[in-house]
Amino acid sequence: MPPKRAAPAQRSLFESSPGVLADDERGRIAYTPGLVAPTVAQAWFEALRDGVEWKAERRRMYDRDVDVPRLTAHFRLDSDAGQGERVPAPIREAARAVLARTGVPFTTVGLNRYRDGRDSVAPHNDHLDELAEGFPIALLSLGATRRMTIRAKAPPRRLLHVDLESGSLLMMSYETQLHYTHGVPKVAHPVGERISLAFRVKPARASSEDDTRRDFYR
């Protein structure tokens, strides 16, 4: 049975206010459980699971093609995006909730669907040239709880394990992408499906691209 919350021993070291997991020159990481009520989170989860056109991708890794171990989708949120595909209502509602909480005008959302414990995302950081300078990343979780591992790239050592509950929001500042990696490891125990909504502000140049760089993270 996975634990329910951020590991307290790690949290207490850096917490200056509830949910703040790190806040210093290497950036700020904050976890907010219950941004969205459980019934709403469950309704959004089901609507997105059943209604989104999920992509199963393959990537070249060294000398062979491998499956990306999760399903993905991507939407632009800026009104002048002119995308043929309509942004699903749960995503528009989620974007409103995240904007109300953060005040950040996110322009894109990348969806990850973890079908079971074999799905994962390898440790990585977002490429800074794919983010508008200074803007954070926000991860809204729906469905089963999965643990995220956040690790400092250089000493002093810092390792955070954050159990991302349905309806929760994890914010990582722009600077954290320089100093930390984050990933969702595979788990051996049975676990239900999870969908994450990764909100980003893309620089104008990158905003027309479809998260291509991100897809290198396996």
Interface contacts to ligand AKG, rule CB under 6 A? 110, 112, 121, 139, 148, 164, 182, 184, 196, 198, 214, 217
Residue placing its CB nearer to ligand AKG in the complex, 3 or 16: 3
- Least Å distance between CB 3 and ligand AKG? 17
- Least Å distance between CB 159 and ligand AKG? 16
Helix, strand or coil, per DSSP, at residue 9: helix
Residue placing its CB nearer to ligand AKG in the complex, 11 or 163: 163
Residue placing its CB nearer to ligand AKG in the complex, 112 or 166: 112
Helix residue spans in the chain (DSSP H): 8-14, 38-51, 89-102, 176-179
Residue placing its CB nearer to ligand AKG in the complex, 148 or 160: 148
- Least Å distance between CB 111 and ligand AKG? 9
- Least Å distance between CB 124 and ligand AKG? 7
- Least Å distance between CB 80 and ligand AKG? 24
CA dist., res. 49 & res. 42, Å (int): 10
Q: Which residue is nearest to ligand AKG (CB)?
A: 196
Strands (E), 121-211: 121-124, 137-143, 146-152, 159-164, 169-172, 180-184, 194-200
Residue placing its CB nearer to ligand AKG in the complex, 158 or 168: 168
Rg of the chain over Cα atoms, rounded to whole angstroms, equals: 16
Residues 6 or more apart whose Cβ sits within 8 Å of residue 44? 36, 90, 93, 94, 142
CA dist., res. 216 & res. 124, Å (int): 9
Half-sphere exposure (Cβ direction) of 101: Cα atoms closer than 13 Å: 24
